[in-house]
Amino acid sequence: MRLALAQLNPVVGDLAGNAERILQACRQAAAASADLVLTPELSLWGYPPRDLLLLSGRLQDQEEALAALAAALQEETLPVAALVGVAEPCNDRSLPNLHNAVALVEPGRYRVVARKQLLPSYDVFDERRYFRPAAEPSLLELERRGRRWRLGLTICEDLWVEEELQGQRLVGPDPIAALAPLRPDLLLNLSASPFSLAKPDLRRQLAQRAARRLGCAVVYVNQVGGNDELVFDGAGFVIDGAGTVLCRLPCCREAVTLWEPSGAAGRTGFGLPALQQEASPELPDLEQLFRALVLGVHDYAAKCGFRRAVLGLSGGIDSALVAVIAAAALGAQQVQALLMPSPWSSQGSIDDALALAGRLQIPTHTAAIAELMDSFSHALTPVLGEPPAGLAAENLQSRIRGTLLMAVANQQGQLLLSTGNKSELAVGYCTLYGDMNGGLAVIGDVYKSQVFALCAWLDSPEAAACRRELGLPPGGELVGKAIRRKPPSAELRPDQRDSDTLPDYALLDPLLESLVEQRRSVAELVAEGVDGALADQVMALLRRAEFKRRQGAPVLKVSGQAFGSGWRMPIAAR
């Protein structure tokens, strides 16, 4: 039997369009003499469909899409079947009334052949709102090429059962243990697993453990693409019964590739960008992170109907990184940079911003804000009894800039990209209705120390191939030493530095990672030697800034715990 692993990028809710994407993969698979096409979890809907699942009429739309896909396979005489992720109605009055399921679509017919047993309801996941868990494992028997194949089927979380590897696991059955007595020839896992830096290695370890437990190869197919704040990296693979990786699909791009369970190596890909096993090496962490951010911006813009983007370019490292990401995602000529210098902006920062834009070939415009600052001060003096000063005056500068950026975005139909990093969002070192304005917070899940590391990598020879592939200038500095070595500053008052207000990022970021990603308490950290006053200060800032984060733009999730749908802290709380 010859399998086609279809690493697809669906549009959430576009049932007809996603069915057409699956059909195209089936056409390519049939042309390459494949027998079975594997698609990701809920591939007909795109993941996560969220409350689209609750809308009246959408399940009928699903039935029509499945029927059309089966009819097309028959009409075009395509001798191939596809495993397609669907939402299966339970046909009773109990809630939830759906299964997260897989349908086998063949020429002229389709049927459900697998249902998900473990339903995640942590972090960004909320599957128990929509689905009920299956009670039994799923085994599909198929006759292909003179042999009857026993295919174990699991859906995403069903593979995540190794508490030793994960540190924890969902309460519920062990789908791998339940499949063992059924002696499958292959285990197929259809996933929609969002990206984070630790995920690819952990997925492989889980698959290796399952392969050893079942004594068979594991085929892992993952969704790729950005959907709202989530980025799916694809990065599918095949692992044999001994735990050896036989085939690896690329990170952060669509691919359809063949693999034969006979033990032969993965064949060349087809249709979508051709894939050879040796052409998809495991990428360094920083390249994975950069590609995920580029993919997230590209798909957020494309799927929301934006062709162009605008951002404020300050000459600082955060806006520089966002400019590079935007140029790679949309093309340099589709990105506009607005410089908005104040009396406190250094000439060096202005020069650095213009130099960066020149290297990227991004068009720029300048709108100085000194006169606007004076106008606001004049208007507010009678109200306040004195001119705005201190933090109020500093925030006014940010809000003036935010207003100008929103006006440009509205007038020109552009997506405004927010440039704040995770460290700033965590401690509230950002301004509501100012630098937080935007339709997407590109690096809102990237700590400041990671921003520096990403920019250093981008300027290194190691990034040349990635830069070339993504349409960026392949040689020489991109961000530039002047920006990378500049002390971080918002430049909202004379000689301002981030370090005037915040701990050094080398101290702050590890502490934030403990408090945010690991949900650790101040007491635990102090017991391990963290300075108590510092831990209390950072925790107080983190809690106080919750109301800001609640009103911010969607944050592209690239860590284990991002601010957004997976962070559900109350605002009014102790």
Provide the pLDDT for residue 493: 80
> Would you say the CATH fold of 290-550 matches that of 3-277?
no
Could you say which of 88, 116, 162, 424 is catalytic? 116
Report the 10 Å Cβ neighbour count for 113: 17
Looking at the whole model, is its pTM more than 0.85? yes
What's the burial of 8, exposed, middle or buried (CB within 10 Å: 0-12/13-18/19+)?
buried
Provide the pLDDT for residue 236: 96
Could you say which of 26, 127, 156, 216 is catalytic? 156
* SS3 of residue 190 by DSSP: strand
* Inter-residue contact 157 to 115 (CB < 8 Å): no
* Inter-residue contact 307 to 414 (CB < 8 Å): no
Q: CA-CA distances (angstroms) from residue 40 to 78, 191, 205, 364, 464? A: 21, 5, 19, 41, 31
HSE on the CB side for 402, CA within 13 Å? 21
Q: Walk along the chain (574 residues) and give the pLDDT tens digit of each residue.
A: 999 999 999 999 999 999 999 999 999 999 999 999 999 999 999 999 999 999 999 999 999 999 999 999 999 999 999 999 999 999 899 999 999 999 999 999 999 999 999 999 999 999 999 999 999 999 999 999 889 999 999 999 999 999 999 988 999 999 999 999 999 999 999 999 999 998 999 999 999 999 999 999 999 999 999 999 999 999 999 999 888 999 999 999 999 999 998 644 333 344 343 333 334 678 899 999 999 999 999 999 999 999 999 999 999 999 999 999 999 999 999 999 999 999 988 999 999 999 999 999 999 999 999 999 999 999 999 999 999 999 999 999 999 999 999 999 999 999 999 999 999 999 999 999 999 999 999 999 999 999 999 999 999 999 999 999 999 999 999 999 999 998 888 777 888 888 888 899 999 999 999 999 999 999 999 999 999 999 999 999 999 999 999 999 999 999 999 999 999 999 998 8
| Domain residue ranges of the chain, discontinuous segments joined by + | 3-277, 290-550
- What residue spans of 520-568 are helical by DSSP H? 522-527, 532-544, 546-550
* SS3 of residue 148 by DSSP: strand
The DSSP letter of residue 54 is G
* Inter-residue contact 10 to 46 (CB < 8 Å): yes
> Is there a catalytic annotation at residue 260?
no
* Inter-residue contact 307 to 277 (CB < 8 Å): no
Place of tokens 């000439």: 347
> Is there a catalytic annotation at residue 371?
no
Question: Which residues in 293-422 belong to E strands, given as ranges?
Answer: 309-312, 335-339, 364-366, 415-418
Could you say which of 26, 41, 127, 557 is catalytic? 41
* Inter-residue contact 435 to 398 (CB < 8 Å): yes
In CATH terms, the fold of domain 3-277 is Nitrilase/N-carbamoyl-D-aminoacid amidohydrolase (3.60.110)
In CATH terms, the fold of domain 290-550 is Rossmann fold (3.40.50)
> Is there a catalytic annotation at residue 304?
no
